[in-house]
């Protein structure tokens, strides 16, 4: 569908099922994941479910017949914090902050505020020196109604689709998945676009549209700069999402 300037349509109910905001950063070499334990007290009220995430290293010794695989070591890789209703969660380590919102999506302003508010509370503990990558990812679930014959012409659903111009081009496609990457702004911004048609029933065609926009640059960004950069990533995400919708699909989901 055609977008006028920077004005994107507002959907009555966004088809977003998962929203993810992530910040990759560098901190001092002395900082370890054990140093992040004070965050449990900071987030106890709004994110009362706290889990420590560990990674294990195994050792394989084929000369030992009974137990050729043994646990060599374990290490703390980060902390996860989950809200009581389990709709919001985030992971924090010495190089990664990942905030996720599951289920019904309200507005960008509210999601950004929740994610960056959690990030701000982490700053005093993690003390990042530079940000290395910012990313914003949205997974959308869209069910489109159409006649069965529409399986022969996917272009009436979305502007990105799989087509065959071989001898079997008239054979309907009931399921598919595709993925592509677009480098933008001299490769500082990358767009990973994935789309999947799942097995539907009757005249229902369920699609998953997964758009991940990344800003890759080692910088010292302040709070305002980070907010502005995420606003930019969200704008790019919206451009790819709405540009992919045909007019008939937009009418169904608006």
* For the chain, domain boundaries: 129-254
Averaged pLDDT of the chain: 86
Cα atoms in the 13 Å half-sphere on the side-chain side of 207 = 25
Which residues are within 8 A (CB) of 118 and not within 5 positions of it... i.e. 6 or more apart?
43, 47, 81, 90, 97, 99
**Strands (DSSP E) found in 61-129:** 69-82, 88-92, 96-102
For the stretch 90-113, pLDDT in tens is 999 999 999 999 998 989 999 999
The pLDDT value recorded for residue 244 is 93
* pTM higher than 0.75: yes
Whether residue 171 is predicted with pLDDT greater than 50 in this model: the reply is yes
């Amino acid at each position: 569908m055609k977008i006028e300037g920077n004005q994107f349509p507002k959907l009555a109910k966004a088809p977003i099922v998962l929203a993810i905001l992530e910040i990759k950063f560098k901190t001092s070499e002395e900082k370890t994941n054990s140093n992040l334990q004070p965050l449990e007290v900071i987030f106890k009220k709004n994110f009362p479910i706290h889990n420590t995430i560990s990674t294990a290293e195994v050792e394989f010794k084929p000369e030992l017949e009974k137990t050729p695989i043994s646990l060599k070591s374990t290490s703390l890789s980060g902390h996860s914090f989950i809200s009581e209703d389990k709709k919001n969660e985030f992971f924090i380590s010495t190089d990664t902050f990942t905030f996720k919102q599951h289920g019904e999506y309200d507005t960008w302003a509210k999601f950004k505020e929740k994610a960056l508010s959690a990030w701000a509370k982490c700053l005093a503990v993690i003390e990042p020196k530079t940000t290395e990558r910012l990313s914003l990812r949205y997974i959308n679930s869209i069910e489109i109604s159409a006649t069965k014959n529409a399986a022969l012409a996917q272009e009436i659903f979305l502007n990105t689709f799989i087509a065959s111009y071989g001898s079997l081009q008239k054979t309907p496609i009931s399921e598919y998945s595709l993925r592509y990457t677009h480098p933008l702004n001299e490769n500082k911004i990358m767009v990973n676009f994935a789309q999947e048609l799942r097995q539907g029933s009757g005249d229902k065609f369920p699609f998953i549209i997964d758009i991940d926009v990344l800003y890759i640059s080692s910088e010292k960004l302040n709070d305002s700069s980070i907010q502005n950069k995420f606003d930019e990533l969200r704008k790019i995400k919206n451009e790819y999402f709405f540009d992919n919708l045909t007019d008939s699909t937009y009418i169904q989901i608006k």
